[in-house]
Amino acid sequence: MKPRPETIYSSTTKIPTGYGMLYVTITELESRPFEVFCTIGKSGGSIMAKAEVIGRLVSLALRNGVNLIDIIDQLIDISDDRPVLYGKQLTKSIPDAVGQLLRDKYLNKPVTKKNEITSKEIKAIIEEDKNAVQRTE
C-alpha cells in the first residue's frame, strides 16, 4: 500500500443526492486520486456511515493500485430509492455520485445519453421503484 505523505493536495465537491448534499473530498498524489472522503448529513447517522464506507473502500483500492476505471465501473449505476436529477445529470445513489465525480474529473468523459434523463423519466423510475417495493411487502 502506498504510504500517505505528510501533506497532500485535495479538493472538495458538493453533490446533491436524495439524502441531502454529499461532500466528496479527493486527495491527489502526482495528479491522480489518492484518497476519497465522503460526508453527508449529521455525524453518526446510518447514511453518513454508508457514505464513509464508500470513501474508505475507494481509498483502499486507490492506495493499493486498483485501476481507476475498474473502481469507477463498480460505482456508477448503483441505484437506490432516492435518485436525484440535477440539471440533466441523474444521480442514482451515493456510490453513483462518487463514481460520476471520479469519471468526470479524471477520465474527462462527457456525460452520455445513458446518464441524461428528463424529469418525466425520473418520475417513472421513482414510480416503478415504489411499485416494486409494494410487490415485495
Average pLDDT, the chain: 85
Q: Are 50 and 18 in contact (CB under 8 A)?
A: no
Percent of the chain scoring above 90 in pLDDT: 65
- Per-residue pLDDT band at 106 (split at 50, 70, 90): very high
- Per-residue pLDDT band at 115 (split at 50, 70, 90): very low
d(CA 7, CA 97): 26
pLDDT given at position 97: 96
Mean pLDDT, rounded, for 78-93? 91
Question: pTM score, two decimals?
Answer: 0.77
- Per-residue pLDDT band at 113 (split at 50, 70, 90): very low
pLDDT given at position 132: 57
